[in-house]
Amino acid sequence: MEAFRVHSGLVVPLDRANVDTDLIIPKQFLKSIKRTGFGPNLFDELRYLDPFDQAAPSAVRQPNPEFSLNAPKYAGASILLSRENFGCGSSREHAVWALVQFGIRCVIAPSFADIFKNNAFKSGLLPLELDEAVVDSLFQQSADGDVVNLTIDLTSQQVTLPDGAQVNFTVDPFRRNCLLEGLDDIGITLQREDAITAFEQSHQRTQPWLFNEVNL
Amino acid sequence: MAGIDPQSYPQPVEWTQKSGSMLNSRSATLLVAGKSTMPVAVPIIAVGLSREFVMGRTLYDKLWDAHLVDQQDDGSALIYIDRHLIHEVTSPQAFEGLRLAGRSPRRLNANVAVPDHNVSTDPKERALGGYAGVADATSRIQLETLNGNCNDFNIPLIDLADQRQGIVHVMGPEQGATLPGMTIVCGDSHTSTHGAFGALAHGIGTSEVEHVLATQCLLTKKMDNFRVVLEGEAQSGVSAKDLALAVIGKIGTAGATGCALEFAGSAVRSLSMEGRMTLCNMAIEAGARAGMVAVDRVTLDYVKSRPMAPIGEQWEMAEEYWRTLHSDADAVFDRELIMDASAIEPQVTWGTSPEMVTSIEGTVPTIEEMCDETGKKSLERALGYMGLEQGMKLTDISVDMVFIGSCTNGRIEDMRAAAAVIRGHQKADNVERVLVVPGSGLVKAQAEAEGLDKVFKNAGMEWRAPGCSMCLAMNADKVESGKRCASTSNRNFEGRQGFGGRTHLVSPAMAAAAAVTGRFTHPAHLETL
């Protein structure tokens, strides 16, 4: 996983609440058995006017000029700004992969759905919860026609706004450390192998039926 | 344990037995659990927040404690996973990750795999058997990959040609792969379904699928305890789906974010296991990763004699433990919502989020009713997408398609409820297609043994092969752009059932009534039409 320490980037606004993972990456792209290649289809149904044709996957699509991610002024944006309950719905991690592969390193919203938030941390995407008032003001600045650039420092847990003001935030300490170091969860857990084995043995003594062989 | 006196059976906790003052009028105003910007037509008896001294443990506390491997100072914890269910869509990248790291699954017998999301439900295609008949090449590769991975790693698999194949959340309980007291995970958010058995069950992402395969544990944090108490007798024609939608309408789709949701109260206890599964299935639509119901006689009766359930002395040992799986009388919840189930009417969603719901007798909200700007914008966008006018009656909305099935409502009782409404009627002329998709091969066989398939077919409806089908529309079963579908599934998001498709979430009886009248109709009013 790519580490996340300090990131400066352009903010692209997506002004809606309850952005669900179906919207982020529609199901027709979940047939892939790979972990890559989802970036071009991020927000596919908002981003293009013509539906994706599975029979012609590399056909040139018609971008929706109304959609913020298509606006030239947001080209190269790496911070997505949205509203509450971002990432609700399906557990598909493909939604996180699509955002990251498009070039998004951080999503800012007043709140996130649990599974999405969890998934984001595993792929180096920072789900950054900021107060509704701060989010509102960032939307306002974007609507006023200015592009907004932010610097997000996970080390000091501070966002530097365009006017130089700083806003503090907090990230779960364990998740923060994993992001800062780019740590692999499985590697961390396997260091606790002794504890897992000890638990497993006692669990099997008290609930032996859980360890029966599966004969399908 | 054999021959225990049923009278001595520990009853699930009654909220009315609770000591303390959490339901006094002052505390009732303390908390609105979650935030919904949508008005709802469901009366609330009380909404309370309890901050009493912690005495007993909740069901979730007990399940958590029984699986805690390691707790770190930073709040992160390792919990042990008893059952890992696997399907074709969220697992290929996890198996690939294992291969790349040279790792192998830690405990093979903890896993059960089945293809469901991406399978064709076309009976002709399925009759060809196996994967050769899968017309869509990309889907075939994904399905074959599941088989290949299960073969390579020796993971127990129910494959496409097996009669037990079905939606993972239907198959698990049927086979007894789901048992009370378990921790159960699957790379699918509707894993909350299995909490109906007094289990801690929730969806995980693909990285976590790989993590569970490699370590048999999940790195996680404890959630808050949230109890939803549904008291009273549900009206005739009101199902678990209606109860679930009414709760979501009240607390909103993010209302239980960060929480484990326990459903309790007399209306929940009187539900069958299948009804409880429907309720817990929809917990994720209220933002809760996990939903759960206490173990009682109904649970034990369902589990007993399932193929993977323990037998003999193991059963007795298990039953003794499972009987403790309920919240203690003095357990304290971080949040609590109490609703009068008898006042809940059949529900219909009108918008593009499950919280955009009202009763069949209700109307689509108006912009003036919205409390804030975000709510107004959401309403405008939803009405635009759905092609509806503000203030219109739900019973004036006609439908083009009907879908009966999914992990929410694809079980035998759902098939029976739909058939009971349809029997003696025909599909309405304005309804182009009605898909009835049993949740598993065993549901299909049972329904056919009862002649339900004939009820559907004689009414001009399609009786399909088992799979997730039009709930997420990964396969050929889709709602076409601009078409309106009454669906027993769980999500009405934009594009969920197909690009531009318009979804209204309803119960099986409501979907059946819409299929025969061509518009949303209270099932009880059907005979008088």
Side-chain-side CA neighbours of residue B502 (13 Å): 19
pLDDT band (50, 70, 90) for residue B528: low
Is the CB of residue B385 less than 8 Å from the CB of residue B470?
Answer: no
Least confident of A11-20, A187-196, B30-39, B267-276: B30-39
Please report the pLDDT score of residue B7 as a whole number: 38
Residue B39 above 60 pLDDT? Answer: no
Does A131 lie at the interface with B, CB-CB under 8 angstroms? no
Is the CB of residue B217 less than 8 Å from the CB of residue B80?
Answer: yes
Digit-coded pLDDT (tens) for B438-467: 999 999 999 999 999 999 999 999 999 999
Digit-coded pLDDT (tens) for A113-166: 999 999 999 999 999 999 999 999 999 998 887 899 999 999 999 999 988 999
Quick one: tokens of B81?
Answer: 């996973």
Closest CA of chain A from B386, distance in Å: 15
Give the bridge partners for B363, in sequence order: B393
d(CA A172, CA A174): 6
Find, in chain A, the residue whose alpha carbon is nearest to that of B310. A209
d(CA B322, CA B314): 12
CB contact under 8 A, A200 and B494: no
Burial class (CB in 10 A: 0-12, 13-18, 19+), B43: exposed
> Which of A17, A31, A119 shows the shortest C-beta gap to B142?
A31
Is the CB of residue A88 less than 8 Å from the CB of residue A112?
Answer: no
Please report the pLDDT score of residue B181 as a whole number: 98
Please report the pLDDT score of residue B42 as a whole number: 42
Residue B31 above 60 pLDDT? Answer: no
Query: Can you list the alpha helix ranges (DSSP code H) found in A37-182?
Result: 44-47, 94-102, 114-122, 132-143, 173-181
Q: How high does pLDDT run on average in chain B?
A: 90
Please report the pLDDT score of residue B128 as a whole number: 86
Backbone φ, ψ for residue B61 (5° rounding): -55, -45
Please report the pLDDT score of residue B527 as a whole number: 67
The predicted complex's ipTM stands at 0.95
Residue B9 above 70 pLDDT? Answer: no
Please report the pLDDT score of residue B374 as a whole number: 82
Amino acid at B247: V
Q: In a 3-state reduction of DSSP, which class is residue B3?
A: coil
Expressed in percent and rounded to 5, the helix, strand and coil fractions of chain B are: 40, 15, 45
Give percent above pLDDT 70 in chain A.
100
Residues whose CB falls within 8 Å of the CB of residue A5, separated by 6 or more in sequence, listed in order: A153, A154, A155, A180
Q: What is the mean pLDDT of residues B417-423?
A: 97
Question: Within 10 A of B233 (CB to CB), how many other CB atoms are there?
Answer: 11
Q: In a 3-state reduction of DSSP, which class is residue A216?
A: coil
Residue of A42, A191, A39, A115 lying closest to B206 (CA atoms): A115
Residue B44 above 50 pLDDT? Answer: no
CB contact under 8 A, B493 and A23: yes
- Contacts of B452-460 with CB under 8 Å at 24 or more apart are B452/B415, B452/B416, B452/B419, B455/B419, B455/B422, B455/B423, B456/B418, B456/B419, B456/B422, B459/B422, B459/B425, B459/B426, B459/B427, B459/B434, B459/B515, B459/B516, B460/B426, B460/B427, B460/B434
Find, in chain A, the residue whose alpha carbon is nearest to that of B500. A45
Is the CB of residue B111 less than 8 Å from the CB of residue B212?
Answer: no
Give the bridge partners for B224, in sequence order: B259
Q: Which residue has the higher pLDDT, B135 or A74?
A: A74
Residue B48: which region, alpha, beta or left (left: phi > 0; alpha: psi -120 to 50)?
beta
CA dihedral B201, B205, B211, B217 (to 10 degrees): -20
Q: What is the mean pLDDT of residues A90-118?
A: 98
Digit-coded pLDDT (tens) for A33-65: 999 999 999 999 999 999 888 888 888 999 999
> Which of B162, B258, B473 shows the shortest C-beta gap to A114?
B258
Q: What is the mean pLDDT of residues B396-425?
A: 98
CB contact under 8 A, A33 and B142: yes
Digit-coded pLDDT (tens) for B356-410: 999 999 999 999 999 888 889 999 999 999 999 999 999 999 999 999 999 999 9
Residue B401: which region, alpha, beta or left (left: phi > 0; alpha: psi -120 to 50)?
beta
Residues whose CB falls within 8 Å of the CB of residue A53, separated by 6 or more in sequence, listed in order: A59
Find, in chain A, the residue whose alpha carbon is nearest to that of B214. A186
d(CA B354, CA B128): 37
Residue of B286, B282, B301, B277 lying closest to B256 (CA atoms): B286
Q: Which residue has the higher pLDDT, B334 or B52?
A: B334
Please report the pLDDT score of residue B24 as a whole number: 30
